[in-house]
Amino acid sequence: MGDHVWIDQRTGTELNVEIGARVVATQAGQIVLIDDNEQELHFPAQTKFRSMHISSIEGVDDMILLGDLKESAILHNLHIRYKEDIIYTYTGSILVAVNPYKSLDIYNIKYMRQYSNKKIGELQPHIFATGDNAYWSMQRYQHDQCIIISGESGSGKTESTKLILQFLAATSGQHSWIEQQILDANPILEAFGNAKTVRNDNSSRFGKYIDIHFDKRGAIEGAKIEQYLLEKSRIVSQARDERNYHVFYCMLAGMSKEEKQALDLTTASDYVYLNQLDGTIYCDSRDDAKEWATIKSACKVLMFSDEELNDILRLLSAVLNLGNLKFQATTTQNMDTCIVANRNVLRLVSKLLKLDENGLCDGFLKRTIFAHGEAVVTPLNQEQACDVRDAFVKGIYGKMFIWIVEKINSAIYKPQDRVAYRKSLGILDIFGFENFQRNSFEQLCINYANENLQQFFVHHIFKLEQEEYDNEHINWKHIAFEDNQRILDLIASKSLNIIALIDEESRFPKGTDRSLCDKLHAHHSKNENFIPRKTDNNINFGIRHFAGNVFYDCQNFLEKNRDTFSQDLMKLLQESQSKFLRNLFLNEFHIGTETRKRAPTLGTQFKKSLDSLMSILSACQPFFVRCIKPNEYKAADNFDRALVCRQLRYSGMMETISIRRKGYPIRHLFRDFVDRYRLLAPGIGPSHVEADCRAAADKICKNVLVNQDYQIGRTKVFLKDAQDVFLEQAREQVMARKILILQNSIRTWIARRQFVTLRQSVLLIQRYCKSYRDARRFQIITNGFTRLQTQFHTRMLTLRYSVLRSRILNLQRFCRGYLARQNYSRKLNAILILQSEVRRHIAQKHMRRYRLQEKMYREAEQERYEEEKRLIPKLGAKRAKEEAERKYQERLKILQREMSEQERLEQQRAKENRLLIEKKIYTDESDVFNNIFPSSGDERTTPVHRPTTVTTGGMQSTLGNMPQSKDNIERIDKPLPLPYQDEDLKEYTFAKFASTYFQGNATSYFTKKTLKQPLLAIKSERDQLAALAIWITILRFMCDLPDVRTPNVIHQKQSVMTKIHSTLGRKFNKKDLEEAQKLNELIDNQPILPPPDNSPSKQTTNDPSSASNKPTSRSVRQKLVNMTLKRKSKLSTDNAITRLKDLDILSSTQQIKMSGMNPFLEDRPTSNLEKLHFIIGLGIHVAELR
């Protein structure tokens, strides 16, 4: 029990490694074990297990120290450390980082100081230790260093890069502006180059190499960033549950409403490029609005101007709106063509890109091909137009991303002087090996980059192995190992390699993906690392990479390799009014039409940049960080052994095992070797007793491993795999003999001691059992009576509850039935009444129509009869009858047309009324005002237009409305329109009106302050001044503003008639004054009567004055109001200017303009009546100021 062993669980699948386990019990001929996954396993007792090396039991910080460096040992070591939240492990100088998917408090300033200036191995493994070792190696050896961070998406590469940058910025100790700029470059690159994927919420979709430059003192003086292979296809399409690049969502979430309106932007769900396949718009682990503020702040730090930011935002808006551009398939001259379905989107895009709208439309719908010096324009179908649009979008975004990287470099990079000292430390954050269900051109480039890095890694590991042997001073032979140079030759090194053939086919105008696939199979089908397709119908091929076989689909290989878009759109970009957009494609413009065919392809550019990168890395001392993703669900404390094992193989970690196995893979420290195998050589004690453990280890090896290949180094014993197995078997045999002797003695002693103990225990048990039996019996009797009482009470309570519940349910049932019947009866009566009323209304309508028709028929016959009778003396009976019939038919036709026209007008009026009801248009306020206050002073009113009644031809015109057929009769029975329903007036509030239409910062709340400008937008400056005067008058009328304190003496001495004439005019004579006085007396002396009774008996009165006084009083009042409005609608200009000057409202220009205006206010204190006249006459009577 307690031994640790390896269980062979090889099933032939990808996870074909052993799993560690611990023996917990041996019972019933079985061995019970608990494996690393905490699962209990049972095996027969005779099952043989391989013993676990002592170094693998508790785990080690450096996996080089593992006694048996195998896949199973590495996986077991990572697993047990991951359970303890120890996510970093060394393999020599290689750091293995397992993503914990949770926050760990190991990255603060305390840890930065703790790991500063410490060698690898002095402290626990940490990402800071790798960064510190690289930094001090650069300082100590005056040699450039590099840190290569690789791993799958979601393994934590980007976070590791940021942590190293933060550590280097803190270690340099300068805290300068350039350090802040380098750190702030990350948010910008992540926004434009990272996206949410199924595997990672912040996945880098491009590779980058950050080269940090240091001066002689070790301070950061600059940096330079190189980007590799941005995934441009993500801009136009994403997989399910994935997002586009972060910048689109951050921009739409963080911008204000005004900023989005300026760029014609709405929300993320409105754009096709952001909402595909029920795509995810939100990301739980990110705050897009907060990230947008960080991005803008970082752009300011990196010297992005406001104009440049605005240009970038315009391009991003254009990209989103281009995704909404739709094409409608059509047919022109038996050819599949298309047109733009939403022209408004095209117009918006052309405005954002500052391009000609028609030219942009032609660029999407047509293609110009030059053949034999002539231009041939070919229309595109719907699918081709969409491809041209997507290629255009990818080209714009790709060029913008390159410009952003160059802009960042211009801020953080300083060219080196010839005499200046400069050393660099590079950080490579690059994509790991990829093998999906469908692999395309991007995966080929990514895996080619990983093949180069694997080649670089293998040579470095072999070099470390040689250093290990040299340090231990052992005799060793040259280790033969195979690298992946043949795979590199197949992809890009030798002539007619895969990339070269792709470039060659891309330059052919008629080259297709199928012809490319055929050419690849023709040249490389016999290559051992090339996997041919299974059938000729497929257009795919496979490559045996170092991490496994990968099959590539050739579809869209040539298009992605060309990495360009329509020449027509390229020419159109030259004519753009946007200087920023033209500068993005400046290099493309310089290449002529003929030379553009020979422009470097994406594969060639990537190969050159990768060769340059490998040259830089070869000149540096490398440090490797292998990031491992523990599970596919981004969950904490979840270790998927199969997934981790696959990543270890893909990352090249197992190459370390391969190289070491070809040398001496099993290594033991002298004290561990002596403690484990000292039983094989008599006379050797434990390691803490032996003075010379090296001599003891040598003695054991000579005693057991006779004439075998092993090495004794300075601190370790180096063994082969076979020798390790032999030592274990010999140890088991010796242990078995010793154990048998020991078991014999121990079992005898145990049996004797068990007998004595058993006899004493039996006596003690008897005594306690008897006591317990009696107490138990008593307790059983007591509990029985208690349960009996409980059962009795329970049954009584249950019976009472059941009876009460049954009665209540019956009562509820009767009550609900009664209420339901009452409700049904009321509804049924209401429906019957409603039906009877509707049917009565329809029947009355039909009866009126039929009676009118019958009357019109009789009148028509009577008129024809009279006409015939009148013409008989003149024309004779026969001709008179014909003439009367002819005139009768003519009148019928004329009246038929009139009635048709009348019916059309009625239908038109009904339609207009229905539209008014639907749009909820209310009566214009000007009509209400004109009904109360006529515009002129006289009593004339506009005549009311009433429909004229046809007397002579009424009978004939009515005939036009008579139903002529069954269809017309059925049309009468159509359902009547529903009554108009009033709107909810709660939606129309003054606060909402004020927030929508008031100018400046004016709100709906009342204020006593004077206004600087009118509340509403008034075009005329004269009306604006009038509005301000009205506001002042209202304030003074409500006593919220003091009136003019300088009285006009002359005005006070005026007579009453003068004041009346000034108010009502000279036409108001003495007779009118007397009538007004009589009216006033009549109103004052009239007694207050109770409300009139509507009964007919009380409506009739004998007092004639009551009928005559009402129109008289109404006419006099109306005349007074009209004359007052006519005279008091304006006041003097001087006083208005003076008051506005006192309130400091008018500017000098407004004062000059106002001096020529008609008077607004009188130059005197005004009474409340005068103020009221001014407010009504100017503020209500004038439509512009109402």
pLDDT at 928 over 80: no
Question: Cα–Cα distance between 1047 and 1043 in angstroms, integer?
Answer: 10
Q: Which of 353-357, 632-636, 957-961, 1012-1016 has the lowest mean pLDDT?
A: 957-961
Angle at which helices 357-365 and 382-412 cross, to 10°: 120
Query: Beta partners for 68?
Result: 666
Burial state string for 395-405 with b = 16 or more CB within 10 A and e = fewer than 16: bbbbbbbebbb
Q: Is 237 a catalytic residue?
A: no
Q: Which of 232-241, 278-287, 637-646 has the lowest mean pLDDT?
A: 278-287
Q: Is 158 a catalytic residue?
A: yes
The maximal CA–CA distance of the chain, rounded, in angstroms, is 167
152 is in an annotated binding site: yes
925 is in an annotated binding site: no
Of 93, 203, 1122, 1124, which residue is the catalytic one?
203
1074 is in an annotated binding site: no
pLDDT in tens, 248-274: 999 999 999 999 999 999 999 999 999
pLDDT at residue number 832: 93
93 is in an annotated binding site: no
Residue 87 and residue 44 in contact, taking contact as beta carbons nearer than 8 Å = no
- Checking 259-264 for CB contacts under 8 A at 24+ apart, the result is 263/313, 263/314, 263/317, 263/352, 264/317, 264/321, 264/348, 264/352
Of 133, 150, 204, 280, which residue is the catalytic one?
204
Alpha carbon 868 to its chain centroid, in Å, reads 87
pLDDT at residue number 381: 92
**pTM for this prediction:** 0.60
Q: Which of 44-48, 419-423, 784-788, 873-877 has the lowest mean pLDDT?
A: 419-423
156 is in an annotated binding site: yes
Which are the contacts of 527, defined by CB distance < 8 A and separation ≥ 6? 490
Q: Is 137 a catalytic residue?
A: no
Ranges of H-type helices in 208-268: 246-254, 257-262
Q: Is 525 a catalytic residue?
A: no
Residue 528 and residue 581 in contact, taking contact as beta carbons nearer than 8 Å = no
pLDDT at residue number 397: 95
Residue 68 and residue 47 in contact, taking contact as beta carbons nearer than 8 Å = no
Q: What DSSP string describes 78-102? A: HHHHHHTT--EEEETTEEEEE--SS
Q: Which of 585-599, 901-915, 1104-1118 has the lowest mean pLDDT?
A: 1104-1118
Q: What is the DSSP letter of 954?
A: H
> Chain-wide mean pLDDT for the chain?
81
Residue 923's Cβ-side half-sphere holds a number of Cα atoms within 13 Å equal to 7
Q: Is 1167 a catalytic residue?
A: no
pLDDT at residue number 463: 77
426 is in an annotated binding site: no
pLDDT in tens, 1087-1098: 444 444 443 333
Q: Is 12 a catalytic residue?
A: no
Mean pLDDT of 434-443: 86
Of 20, 67, 131, 154, which residue is the catalytic one?
154
Q: Is 200 a catalytic residue?
A: yes
pLDDT at residue number 10: 64
pLDDT at 155 over 80: yes
pLDDT at residue number 599: 66
Would you give the end-to-end CA distance of the chain in angstroms? 99
pLDDT at residue number 546: 82
Of 207, 432, 663, 960, which residue is the catalytic one?
432
Q: Is 424 a catalytic residue?
A: no
Of 89, 91, 99, 158, which residue is the catalytic one?
158
pLDDT at 1135 over 60: no
Of 99, 133, 153, 566, which residue is the catalytic one?
153
What sign has the CA pseudo-torsion 1087, 1088, 1090, 1091?
A: positive
Mean pLDDT of 455-459: 85
Of 200, 275, 484, 1033, which residue is the catalytic one?
200
What sign has the CA pseudo-torsion 438, 443, 447, 448?
A: positive
pLDDT at 199 over 90: no
Which residue ranges form the domains of the chain, and what is each CATH number? 441-618 (1.20.58.530), 666-719 (3.30.70.1590), 996-1081+1109-1185 (no CATH)
pLDDT in tens, 535-571: 888 899 999 998 788 999 998 888 888 877 788 888 8
pLDDT in tens, 939-976: 443 443 433 333 333 333 333 444 344 344 334 344 44
pLDDT at 924 over 60: no
pLDDT in tens, 815-854: 999 999 999 999 999 999 999 998 998 888 778 767 876 7
Mean pLDDT of 1138-1166: 49
986 is in an annotated binding site: no
Question: Cα–Cα distance between 627 and 650 in angstroms, integer?
Answer: 11
974 is in an annotated binding site: no
